[in-house]
Amino acid sequence: MPRKWSYRPFISSISIILILMGIFVLGSCHIFRQANEYQRFIHSRFTIKNGQLLSVGKVNLSNKNSYNDLNFGEIVSLGMQMLKGNLPAMLQLTIEAYNPASERAAISGTDWVLLSKADTIAKGTLNKPITIPAQTATRFPVTVRFNLGRLITSGSLQQILKAAMGEQRKAAYEKLHLTFKIRPWYRSGNKIKKAPVYFTVHPR
């Protein structure tokens, strides 16, 4: 008797092809959605909502509300380090991003750079996802470490600290000629897609 032909191998092959096509379509949709969310992110509006000096030299400023909270020993210590030209500082910037679009904006992370005039004084990467819901503002912190001694003279140290630790933080930021920029990116499989240029974020 002639051997009957079985449909099972054929059906199994079709099933595998359909599954692979489904995976490909889902992957393509995910990449397309990521690209759109990224485009909405880079077209959002960014401002520096707040900037706080967390430390200068060996002095912790996170628990001090004004320059007057520094004791005599801390002031002398900062002055001595200033004379040596090495005054490490840690600054926390709070970035506010507003998404005017009707759908959410998102990125996988962003590179950032802090400039004084044309000189780069610090740079780094915020390696975490940031999402901005539709027509909503989101805030995220960026911690910056740099040498404050490169930017100011000993005579202006007191003025800068008074402004930076008080209500004139924007004035201190501008007096140091600081510019903060970001370069958002997102992951697409094993690749990273970055913005072609850095975007300047202005203080409010």
Distance separating alpha carbons of residues 107 and 115, to the nearest angstrom: 23
Does any domain span residue 173? Answer: yes
The residue ranking higher by pLDDT, 152 or 18, is 152
Distance separating alpha carbons of residues 160 and 126, to the nearest angstrom: 27
**pLDDT at residue number 127:** 93
Does any domain span residue 90? Answer: yes
Does any domain span residue 39? Answer: yes
Three-state helix/strand/coil letters over the chain: CCCCCCCHHHHHHHHHHHHHHHHHHHHHHHHHHHHHHHHHHHCCEEEEEEEEEEEECCEECCCCCCHHHCCHHHHHHHHHHHHCCCCEEEEEEEEEEEECCCCCEEECEEEEEEEECCEEEEEEEECCCEEECCCEEEEEEEEEEEEHHHCCCHHHHHHHHHHHHCCCHHHHHHHCCEEEEEEEEEEECCEEEECCCCEEEEEC
Q: What is the pLDDT of residues 34-87, one digit of tens each?
A: 889 999 999 999 999 988 889 999 899 988 888 889 999 998 898 888 888 788
| Contact call for residues 155 and 92 (beta carbons, < 8 A) | no
Per the structure, the complete domain to which residue 125 belongs is given by 8-203
The residue ranking higher by pLDDT, 98 or 12, is 98
Say how many domains are in the chain: 1
Q: What is the pLDDT of residues 107-128, one digit of tens each?
A: 999 999 999 888 999 999 999 9
* Poorest-pLDDT segment among 3-12, 31-40, 65-74, 170-179: 3-12
**pLDDT at residue number 65:** 85
CATH number of the structural domain spanning residue 65: 2.60.40.1470
**pLDDT at residue number 108:** 92
pLDDT confidence band for 91 (50 / 70 / 90): very high
The residue ranking higher by pLDDT, 22 or 12, is 12
Q: Is the pLDDT of residue 172 over 60?
A: yes
Q: What is the pLDDT of residues 123-171, one digit of tens each?
A: 999 999 999 999 999 999 999 999 988 887 645 788 888 878 776 778 7
Does any domain span residue 1? Answer: no
Does any domain span residue 2? Answer: no
